[in-house]
Chain A
Amino acid sequence: MSEVIVITSGKGGVGKTTTTANVGTGLAQLDKKVVLIDTDIGLRNLDVVMGLENRIVYNLVDVIEGSCRMKQALIRDKRYPNLFLLPSAQTRDKTAVTPEQMKKLTDELREEFDYIILDCPAGIEQGFKNAIAGADRAIVVTTPEVSAIRDADRIIGLLEANEMKQIQLIVNRLRMDMVSRGDMMSIDDVKEILAIDLIGAVPDDEQIVISTNQGEPLVGRTDTMAGTAFANICRRITGEEVPLMNLTVKSGVFAKLASLFKKN
């Protein structure tokens, strides 16, 4: 039984690609056979975050146009043998692919993979329509900001209109110190507005920036909050019941440290 999951958000810059990289890697750590597809044609970057840019020979558009076989375009991850990437084309644009072609492509991949994870471009145009065409399940990423939430709300409406079976939410870049001060929306505030199931919350963590720059997803690294949060999300995706981790405890320590520094 394989599942096609699209990671989407509406607004750009909220962490779709980072989430895709970490969720894909995390599922591979759980011994699932996973393929990541970068559907952002013309703005390729999932390969960079995965640290696989130097291995690209063929891309998504080549596969769809029949210029190469699927096997030739799939890039095996350098760390996990059961993780693959289908990179996007950089010299083409969104109109190079149709939703029907994307659906055909994902259906073909179902035969071989447990999870097909699609990194959706920002926006609600052709690229978005392509990305959601073949998906069974959507994960909407948002940050606790009104602009991101407004766009997420729009995206959820469009997903519902397209009869997406399952729509779940990740609240990314939470800063619990700001939440407790009342300067940032809490998870509950976001849930109240968007009214869909939460599949995880990821704290704002500078380790993410470091890992992205290095091309090494940090999922599963228990020394980081974000790594643990992403690992939990992956287990929830597979159907396991994992309670939401307490983000306050650690950031409480951070806050205390921060206040100490402030005093000095």
Chain B
Amino acid sequence: MAQTVILKSNKYGINLILDAEVDFERLLTDIIAKFEEAESFFKNAKMALSFEGRPLTDEEQYRIVQAISEHSSVSILCIIDNDKLREQAVKEIVEEQEADNAIRTGQFYKGTLRSGQLLECETSIVVLGDVNPGAKVVSRGNIVVLGSLKGNAYAGAAGNDAAFVAALDMDPVQIKIGDVIGRSADKAMWSASKKKKKTEPAVEPQVAVVKDGNIFIEPITKGLLNNL
């Protein structure tokens, strides 16, 4: 008869590898037998317990812990969860929460970011000044530049393409939102026509968002703000 329970030690304590097919009551008896067998080896050990090989309900986990403490002198300090699926689910929830936080909370940076300077932020960021060519702003949330954005901006840096980049004067070298990259059109770095544009009608604030896998830059309107 194949073993239904295997005890394996790891650096935190004991890993129980359980048979996936066998009836739970049978499994429980086997676990007790295993621990009784190893009683002299464990003595009064304190350890963490983890399960592998079969999904267990909270009730079942509780009963296993209960059984172990009744039938041996081992004390179980905690149960380590190494269920990959659950771990994945928890990770996703935490990341979603973080991304949400990144977009909802923000910080200010006062001053001009010059070529070679990098501003990284875990939350959204408002830059009170210009972002010059060669400078880069990276944020897990949104980026708002109260000045000219002439360098690189990377919003939603954890892969969140719902983030946006807004600037009073939108003239970036590159914008990246989530995993989407947009670059400026090829043009002269400086030309008199560009200057003229600045003196005549005042440049209007614009916002960059991801739509259908592309970056769109458009004027900030009420309707647009509501959709953000």
Contacts and interface: CB of A to CB of B under 8 A. Distances in A.
Secondary structure type dominating chain A contacts: helix
A195 B112 contact: yes
A154 B192 contact: no
A189 B189 CA distance: 12
B190 A150 contact: no
Contact of A146 (B113, B130, B189): B189
Interface string A169-193: 0000000000001110110010001
A151 B133 CA distance: 10
A183 B192 contact: yes
Given A146-B190, A189-B190, A157 B195 contact: no
Interface in B94-140: 112-117, 129-130, 132-135
Contacts of A156: 114
Interface string B163-192: 000000000000000000000000001111
Interface string A24-56: 000000000000000000000000000000000
Most buried by B among A153, A156, A186, A193: A153
Interface in B54-84: none
A158 interface: yes
Contacts of A153: 114-115, 132-134
B133 A150 contact: yes
A75 B133 CA distance: 42
B195 A189 contact: yes
A188 B134 CA distance: 21
Given A153-B115, A154-B114, A157-B117, A182 B134 contact: no
> Contact residue range for chain B?
10 to 19
Interface residues of A, number: 17
A193 B117 CA distance: 15
Interface in A143-170: 146, 150-151, 153-154, 156-158, 160
B190 A185 contact: yes
Contacts of A157: 113-117, 135
A189 B199 CA distance: 11
A193 B129 CA distance: 11
B195 A182 contact: yes
Interface in B188-225: 189-193, 195
B189 A154 contact: no
Most buried by A among B116, B135, B191: B116
Most buried by B among A160, A186, A193: A193
B115 A195 contact: no
B93 to A, nearest CB: 39
Contacts of B189: 146
Given A182-B195, A189-B195, A195-B112, A154 B134 contact: yes
A154 B116 contact: yes
Contacts of B132: 153, 193
Contacts of B117: 157
Nearest to A156: B114
Interface in B4-35: none
Interface of B: 112-117, 129-130, 132-135, 189-193, 195
25 contacts: A146-B189, A146-B190, A150-B133, A153-B114, A153-B132, A153-B134, A154-B114, A154-B115, A154-B116, A154-B134, A156-B114, A157-B113, A157-B115, A157-B116, A157-B135, A160-B114, A181-B192, A182-B192, A182-B193, A183-B192, A185-B190, A189-B190, A189-B195, A193-B132, A195-B129
